């Protein structure tokens, strides 16, 4: 199968802000990614199992499951032990950096996202 025939990577975005979800969806689909959206952690867990994405983008401040718990649950599933998880948070940079290390994320992207380089940053996490 040639590179051109491979399916586009899939990304599951879990965030309770509908405007942020739509912005991320539009930005990533414009770059050819398959994007699935979840507005809370429980829905995100269900969709993760159904869709088996290549990468997660997770807001750490969800209303139903805190980021640490959600990421921990994903990391304890053999299916997602190696799947990149990127935190997307408005926390100050120093706090975000320490929290994503403790939570087991592969990195973080600060909110509000910078549309100019968001998709490139996602691509870099997919290549790792």
Q: What is the pLDDT of residues 66-104, one digit of tens each?
A: 888 999 999 999 999 999 999 999 989 898 889 888 999
The pLDDT assigned to 52 comes to 97
- Model-wide pTM > 0.85: yes
Task: pLDDT band for 65, please (50, 70, 90 cuts).
Answer: very high
User: Does residue 121 contact residue 110 with C-beta atoms inside 8 Å?
Assistant: no
Q: Is the dihedral of CA 14, 26, 94, 87 positive or negative?
A: positive
Domain ranges for the chain? 9-127
CB atoms within 10 A of CB 78: 7
Q: What is the Cα–Cα distance from 127 to 38, expressed in whole angstroms?
A: 24
Per-residue confidence (pLDDT) for residue 128, from 0 to 100? 83
* Mean pLDDT of the region 30-51: 97
SS3 for 106? Answer: coil
Question: Over 80: is that where the pLDDT of 4 sits?
Answer: no
- The residue-averaged pLDDT of 53-69 equals 93
Give me Rg for the CA atoms of the chain. Answer: 14
CATH class given for the domain over 9-127:
alpha beta
């Amino acid at each position: 199968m040639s590179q051109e025939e491979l399916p586009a990577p899939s990304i599951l975005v879990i965030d309770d802000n509908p405007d942020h979800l739509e912005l991320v969806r539009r930005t990533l689909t414009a770059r050819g990614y398959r994007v699935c959206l979840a507005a809370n952690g429980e829905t995100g867990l269900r969709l993760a199992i159904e869709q088996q994405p290549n990468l997660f983008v997770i807001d750490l401040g969800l209303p139903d499951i805190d980021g640490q718990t959600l990421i921990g649950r994903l990391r304890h599933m053999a299916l997602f032990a190696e799947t990149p998880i990127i935190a997307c948070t408005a926390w100050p940079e120093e706090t975000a950096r320490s929290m994503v290390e403790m939570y087991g994320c592969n990195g973080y992207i600060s909110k509000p996202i910078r549309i100019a380089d968001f998709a490139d940053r996602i691509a870099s996490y997919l290549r790792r």
